Amino acid sequence: MITVNKLNKSYGDLHVLKDIDLQVEESQVVCLIGSSGSGKSTLLRCLNFLEQRDSGQIIIEGEEIDPAKQNINEIREKVGMVFQHFQLFPHMTVLENIIEAPTHVKKTPKKQAVIEAKDLLSKVGLSDKADVYPSRLSGGQKQRVAIARALAMKPDILLFDEPTSALDPELVGEVLTTMKELAEEGMTMVVVTHEMGFAREVGDWIVFMHDGRIIESAAPEEFFTNPKKERTKEFLKTTALK
Ligand code: ADP
Ligand code: MG
């Protein structure tokens, strides 16, 4: 679904992504972990073309993407994104938030978009919140709406950037459960997370970043029980203390 070859990105003098190679297969859940500042968000933003790379290749579903030549909105329809801080529109109800992109970007007829949105709300367990404004929701509910909104565009791939990091601890579980259900349905997902339990249980592949590089990647069992690199061992020690 995604192939990244030798991706590089700098902000001025700061070299943030260094020769990143990454492969994501269909229906795989790839968990991206690493300490703050290691480049995880920048990598996701490059995959969604919110950020432009300096060099390297990004191939999505077999097609090399050049944002200078291709319609970025079409690519973004294939690759959805869920952010740490939800990014819901505060002046729109939950339902309006979900139908906004399908009706405006995809030109889905409103009636059909509403039916699909209600389906998605029931899927994330929020059927009763369709007409509520985001300010009336808990963080966990907001994030589940944000997931429903991303799904409304019927993406082939969903990117998550620390979807539970802004939540009170008691609300983390409901969002992880929703994500786990999506994974079980076969959604292809790249998840930046500090939730090692989730990464180990739901992830098919773990990628560890440090200082703009992929230091180590492996299947979860191997990664968590038998890390090879010193950096990885150190990182796992610090997360184990939390
Ligand atoms: P992570 O998500 O792993 O915490 P980021 O990808 O957000 O890491 O950031 C990687 C590095 O790039 C950090 O040093 C950060 O300060 C820097 N950075 C991120 N975004 C920008 C930006 N828009 N302009 C300048 N520097 C940035
Ligand atoms: Mg980040």
Secondary-structure breakdown of the chain: helix, strand, coil percentages, each rounded to the nearest 5: 40, 25, 35
Residue 60 and residue 79 in contact, taking contact as beta carbons nearer than 8 Å: yes
What value does the mean pLDDT of the chain take? 95
Q: Quote the percentage of the chain above a pLDDT of 90.
A: 91
Res 236 pLDDT > 90: yes
Res 162 pLDDT > 60: yes
CB atoms within 10 A of CB 233: 11
Over residues 171-182, mean pLDDT:
96
Over residues 4-12, mean pLDDT:
97
Ligand 1, atom 23, lies closest to the CA of 11
Mutation to probe ligand 1, out of 7, 8, 11 (largest number of atoms < 8 A from CB) = 11
Task: Tell me the pTM.
Answer: 0.95
Q: What SS3 class is residue 188?
A: strand
| Atom in ligand 1 nearest the alpha carbon of residue 209 | 3
Res 48 pLDDT > 80: yes
Q: What is the pLDDT of residue 242?
A: 54
Q: What is the pLDDT of residue 172?
A: 95
CA distances to 53, 64, 114 from 68, in Å: 11, 12, 34
